[in-house]
Structure 1
């Protein structure tokens, strides 16, 4: 069941959600491109280089369930505004951090981006909730397609404006503030508030099922495993890749191009992932994503050339999109409207927890082993996701 709204209003909200996703992804791409490198320059030890990046996912994980509860009481528009303001503040703190060469202040700045990520994570759920059931996959992929512009421009802008201010990279984080301000203007025009109608839906639908009942469904397990494994794989690879590329003798601009192609893979795929999910089913699309992710990992195992980095990360980006869109589609079919707050909050905690684990694992694993070993490790969560998707198909 979806939130009832006139077609014109739904189309307008979809356009605004897509624009908001574009600005969010452009904002986050600055951190994805530079935070590992900046963290390495500010950290007291190389082992701590990826902690600032990991804080984005950790804070997102800690914030996502309270964010869902907040939006239930105050509306999604209010939550999205809060997230955009967090980006503004985070960008300003990060500018100050690189200016003062403060590692702890930098951690605080990127942590604010984690709050933005947590709230922006509900853009796709909102798109699914305002759409008819047979159009959910398309709605999710449409919103995620907003990231393609960010994939092309974000990493380029991150490096292009890095010297715009006297201190290197201060201009990049000033860009984060500007993007946060633009996002605030976009989400202010949304009419997606669901606080009042959530109460009405609960009254009509009766008592919600317990979380245990919802979580025991094969469709829920396949959805969480697909989205979670996709995010863990993507985050671990993307966090480690710039540092591994630098360690392999590639320049900062080469490392940025690796992330750029990774993000192109992540979001250009959105133009087809919704259609593919509708055509072959969400669980089968998860399996396709697993295969493509595994192919990327195997390429990274075979070579440390710049081309190998780009192709591997692009494939991992494509695999992430397929697993994320299809996993979210499975999750959107696992709950009733009045069960939305709990189910979405818990599933986001799991997904962002997997992302945080990937980011936290990247630095120590890369320092202790090697880039090929990191990619071999990626095959484990992919195999687990494949098992849950296959079980859902068997029991369906």
Structure 2
């Protein structure tokens, strides 16, 4: 039975209204939950130095954050597939509260093990936060979906400001226990996200009227799709290379005679450049195509490595980090939009969960590997390794973009 046009228009309006509302909710939640990782990354090593008797273990809390993020992606996807996105995100926010409280108690009790448990659980919280970008696409198609991903990522820019400021304001809140207040504020931010996420609603899937949209392929069938493999590879390389270089950059700057303040400022500019372009990345994808935008992102990552190889003064470090951030934005958001094109609504849990597991598993490996490679082989080797990895994905990505352009 065909619905009257007025009813179909009303349903479409309600669907887009719910989706638009959800985007704002997810952006607000991203601005709070996205501060979780910057707080741990900026303080984990410092607290590790205070609590650990072994200097080599000082960065373990940060590595455990990335490990928890990678380990949490598949369980998070399974939970949301079983209970829905809102229930999953509320559980994730509760984990964020627990993580901050455990880390706070670990600092107050001078327990390195307890602090590490806290940062590991914080990684599980981040695995939920990272999927907000996919949730923004529910009920949308085409350019609307691309813009939704980009808009939610703007929340990361807000988080990049909130996290460091909270560290400054609260680090001495507990006299004699530096940074305990910062991790308590981490728990508070996760708690503030709970009432926001309660307002999340499930939009009607745009493809629900088509029977094929309800058929879920086995995971091996999804993995056999060249489009899906290319999208995953683009995300893995974009995020993996960014983490690989960013982790080593502060140590390289200080090791080549620059101040700690200069290194911190360079990372701050890098984080701002990671999320700042999100204001217009969606429009660029709508106009030029997500594959072309992702290809430009990878190209910028390669150029950032060439700049780093060009010299060791502060301008080379900062210029490289800024371009690396912009390249990550184009590459990662482009890859996310590509993934959203590769599955039906019924397949989104497994397709998105596997993608995030592969991406953030690579990120975890990169964070563990970057420091040791820097000490053994140097800053130059790290940046030289960027170039072949970029070329490996850039070539098929450009070919895919050219094929799509011809098809139009």
TM-score (norm 2): 0.87
Is the alpha carbon distance of 1:337 and 1:392 closer, same or farther for their aligned partners in structure 2, counting shifts above 3 Å?
same
Deviation at residue 173 of structure 1 after TM alignment:
1.4
Listed one character per residue, the Cα deviations across residues 294-345 of structure 1 (whole Å, up to 9, x for unaligned) are 2222233334444433332222111111011100111110111111121111
Q: CA deviation at 1:178?
A: 1.5
Q: Distance in 2 between matches of 1:95 and 1:266?
A: 29
Do the aligned partners of residues 286 and 47 (structure 1) sit closer, same or farther apart at CA in structure 2, a change above 3 Å counting?
farther
What residue is the counterpart of 1:315 in the other structure? 323
Bigger Cα displacement from structure 2, 202-211 vs 71-80: 202-211
More displaced 10-residue stretch of structure 1: 249-258 or 180-189? 249-258
Structure 2 counterpart of 1:96: 105
Question: Quick one: distance in 1 between partners of 2:259 and 2:52?
Answer: 20
Alignment correspondent of 1:273? 281
Q: Does 1:186 align with 2:176?
A: no
Unaligned segments of structure 1, at least 5 residues: none
Displacement of 1:177 in angstroms is 1.2
- For the 8 Å contact 2:157–2:276, the answer to whether it is kept is yes
My pick for the range that moved more, 234-243 or 315-324, is: 234-243
Distance 1:235 1:148, change over 3 A: same
CA contact (8 A) 1:165 1:171 kept: yes
Distance 2:209 2:77 in 1: 17
Partner in structure 2 of residue 168 of structure 1: 178
Q: Which residue of 1 aligns with 2:151?
A: 142
Aligned to 1:368: 376
1:48 aligns to 2:57 (yes or no): yes
Is the CA contact 1:37–1:243 (under 8 Å) kept in the aligned structure 2?
no
| Residue in structure 1 matched with residue 134 of structure 2 by the alignment | 125
> What is the alpha-carbon root mean square deviation over aligned residues?
2.6
Measured in 1, the distance between the counterparts of 2:283 and 2:342 equals 20
Cα offsets for 1:251-285 (capped at 9, x unmatched): 54433322221111111010121111122211111
Equivalent residues, number = 392
Q: CA deviation at 1:153?
A: 3.7
Residue 111 of structure 1: aligned partner: 120
- Residue 225 (structure 2) aligns with: 217
Which shows bigger deviation, 168-177 or 265-274?
A: 168-177
Closer, same or farther in 2 for the Cα pair 1:57/1:286, shift >3 Å? same
* Whole-angstrom distance in 2 between the partners of 1:365 and 1:69: 35
Check the 8 A contact 2:242/2:324 in 1, yes or no.
Answer: yes
Residues of 2 paired with 1:44 and 1:388: CA distance? 48
The match for 2:5 is none
1:382 to 384, 390, 405: 390
Structure 2 distance, partners of 1:294, 1:40, is: 34
Give, in angstroms, the shift of residue 395 of structure 1: 5.2
Q: 1:125, 1:140 within 8 Å by CA — same for their partners in 2?
A: yes
Cα distance between partner residues in 1 of 2:48 and 2:343: 40
Work out the CA distance in 2 between the residues paired with 1:35 and 1:319: 26
| Residues 1:83 and 1:249: Cα distance change in structure 2 (over 3 Å) | farther
- How far apart, CA to CA, are the structure 1 residues paired with 2:302 and 2:212? 45
* Distance of aligned partners of 1:319 and 1:371 in 2 relative to their CA distance in 1, 3 Å threshold: same
- The equivalent position to 1:177 in structure 2, one of 171, 187, 197, is 187
Map of 1:240 onto structure 2: 248
- Distance in 2, matches of 1:361 and 1:207, equals 40
Residues 49 and 368 of structure 1, relative CA distance in 2, 3 Å threshold: farther
Equivalent-residue separation in structure 2 for 1:156 and 1:259 (angstroms): 15
Residue number in structure 2 paired with 1:350: 358
> Any gaps of 5 or more consecutive residues in structure 2?
1-10
Aligned to 1:208: 216
Cα distance in 1 for residues equivalent to 2:272 and 2:402: 33
In structure 2, the CA distance between the partners of 1:193 and 1:92, relative to structure 1 (3 Å rule), is farther
Report the CA distance shift for 1:202/1:113 in structure 2 as closer, same or farther (over 3 A): farther
